[in-house]
Amino acid sequence: MYKFGCIGIGNMGGAVAQALVQAAGGGSLMVSSRTREKAEAAAARLGCMAGDNRDLAAQCQYLFLGVKPQILPGVLEELAPVLRSRKSPCVLVSMAAGVSLARLQSLAEGCPVVRIMPNTPVSVGAGLVLYTPGEGLTEEQEAQLTAALAHAGQVDKLPEPLLDAASAVAGCGPAFACQFLEALADGGVACGLPREKAYRYGAQMLLGTASLLLATGSHPGQLKDAVCSPGGTTIQGVRVLEEHGLRAAVMDAVLAAFEKNGALASSH
């Protein structure tokens, strides 16, 4: 019996698998993918075992489902006979956007279900994992799950109605942040800075600024004001960003991502 299983080990599934190995060791994890070759390559990289989907459904206590939303129902239907035959149910942990707890529970054959929304920085242990437990998950199971996920970064519990909104900020946010970083670096290059240094300086600036906000609990506007000396250079840059609608563009991007999450939920 394995503690954890990961069906689907792409970018996000692979990052979560890495955190699980750090939490409990490679001997506690079994992984599967669309092909046996991909599963074995991932297993070799992670130092764990490879299997097929049925192996994982039969042998793992916590089964992470890292497949696309449109594929997930078919995967669970395929595994239904195995899940029904288990002496004790496993916990199904879904990473699929837009697939509700109610839908998951209808396919889970009595297994407790959890929705999680990790973001890409979990691959370096600096991410955020949002989760919503379904009915039937015990306190002990929840504690074991969150302890394992803590190796991926911060873990926060949310009611399901807030999960899509939080995902639009924390899940999509790394892409938005990288767009800003790329533009910031381009500006640095235009000013004569070598590109490698522009990327590195910009990334360190974002990391340091985020760390400062989290450490102090300050309002972002307060830290912005602290950099903007009267008549100085920073306030001129802030003025240009305001003229070009940075705030509105970012808000609209978050709303668009949130609305897409809602559309996915309606289709599943």
Q: Are residues 151 and 41 in the same domain?
A: yes
Instruction: Please report, in angstroms and rounded to a whole number, the separation of the first and last CA atoms in the chain.
Output: 32
CATH of the domain at 55: 3.40.50.720
Strand partners for 260: none
Q: Are residues 25 and 83 in the same domain?
A: yes
Is residue 243 one of the residues assigned to a domain? yes
Question: What range does the domain containing 31 cover?
Answer: 2-158
State which of 158, 181, 206 marks the end of a domain: 158
* CB 224 within 8 Å of CB 232: no
Q: Are residues 26 and 121 in the same domain?
A: yes
CATH of the domain at 201: 1.10.3730.10
The closest of 66, 12, 64, 22 to 47, measured between CA atoms, is 22
pLDDT tens string for the chain (268 positions)? 889 999 999 989 999 999 999 999 999 999 999 899 999 999 999 999 999 999 999 999 999 999 999 999 999 999 999 999 999 999 999 999 889 999 999 999 999 999 999 999 998 999 999 999 998 999 999 999 999 999 999 999 999 999 999 999 999 999 999 999 999 999 999 999 999 999 999 999 999 999 999 999 999 999 999 999 999 999 999 999 999 999 999 999 999 999 998 888 777 6
Q: Are residues 154 and 25 in the same domain?
A: yes
Q: Are residues 15 and 101 in the same domain?
A: yes
Q: Are residues 154 and 186 in the same domain?
A: no
Is residue 163 one of the residues assigned to a domain? no
Strand partners for 2: 60
Q: Are residues 8 and 118 in the same domain?
A: yes
Q: Are residues 188 and 135 in the same domain?
A: no
Number of domains in the chain: 2
CB proximity list for 77: less than 8 A, separation 6 or greater: 107
Q: Are residues 106 and 191 in the same domain?
A: no
Is this structure's pTM higher than 0.85? Answer: yes
